[in-house]
Homo-oligomer: A and B are copies of this chain.
Amino acid sequence: MVPALALRLDTFTRLSPEDRAALATISKVSRVIPARRDLIREGENPQYVHVMVDGWGCRYKTLPDGRRQIVAFFVPGDFCDLNVYVLKEMDHSIGAITRLSVADISREDMDNLTTNRPRITQALWWENLVTTSIQREWMLNIGQRTAYERIAHLLAELFLRLRSVKLTNGDSCDFPITQTDIADATGLTAVHVNRTLQELRRDGLIILEHKRLTIPDLQRLREAALFNPNYLHLTHEGQQLDANG
């Protein structure tokens, strides 16, 4: 099985067999975190860069009174904070949503990678810029879109991201996050998320049950979400080469 990280970076550039080998080495699972447990907490000193090998996670921040904002979801193949060990302490936490297999990459291994594998380095740069871009889109989402658009947008984004690492099956995919998670990610309450999901279902935009999401008509969902995929920066060399061969 091709590790999700390689699939992901392949979106950007065509990796050599040596590159793939290096990624396989790096993607070795070093930890399995049970569902709903934290991988690392705000205030701790980050030592490793993480790769999500299997399962879903999220990055979140909290306020003293318990209000919680999920600022990112992680799906397999996501790479976490290239160079984060430059910082003294974490300003947020990372938690597992499902049971999560993670590869911890030491600073040393990262340094080796960036000096010896320029193509991977470049691809990691790309992935870093895309992650930041997704954060910006989320700000637009939370700040400007209505509840309906907001949730539609989140679902469309996650579907596309999963598709890019081959974790979709036609028009559907596993979707393990709860309505409370969606609420914390969109700045809404769980009750309102529930009602809005019902609207989306009523309008035939989504089928969401038993932790499985189906999108019968992606184009319609995109329109409802005012979704412009440019921020995912998916059209790159890798894709073009794929198209040719």
Copies in the complex: 2
Interface 9-mer from A3-11, A32-40, A57-65: A57-65
Interface size band for A: 35 or more
**A63-B226 contact given A126-B86, A129-B87, A136-B92, CB 8 Å threshold:** yes
Residues of B within 8 A of A145 (CB): 63, 67
Answer whether A144 and B63 are a contact pair too, CB < 8 Å, given A138-B139, A139-B135: yes
Would you call B67 and A144 a contact (CB within 8 A)? Answer: yes
A91 near B: Cβ within 8 Å?
yes
Q: Does A230 contact B (CB under 8 A)?
A: yes
Tell me, in angstroms, the Cα distance from A240 to B145 when the chains sit together: 43
Cα–Cα distance between A139 and B141 once the two chains are bound (Å)? 10
Measured CA separation A231–B142 after assembly (Å): 20
A83 at the interface (CB under 8 A from B): yes
Interface residues of A in 44-59 (CB under 8 A from B): 59
Query: Is there contact, CB below 8 Å, between B87 and A126?
Result: yes
Chain B, Cβ-Cβ closest to A184: B143
Which residues does chain B contribute within 8 Å of A68, judged by CB atoms? 144
**A144 neighbours in B (Cβ, 8 Å):** 63, 67-69, 187
What is the minimal beta-carbon distance from A43 to any residue of chain B, in angstroms?
A: 8
**Contact present for A59 and B136 (CB under 8 Å):** yes
Cα(A135)–Cα(B61), bound, Å: 12
Residues of chain B within 8 A of A122, CB atoms compared: 86
The winner among A83, A138, A186 for most chain B CB atoms within 10 A is A138
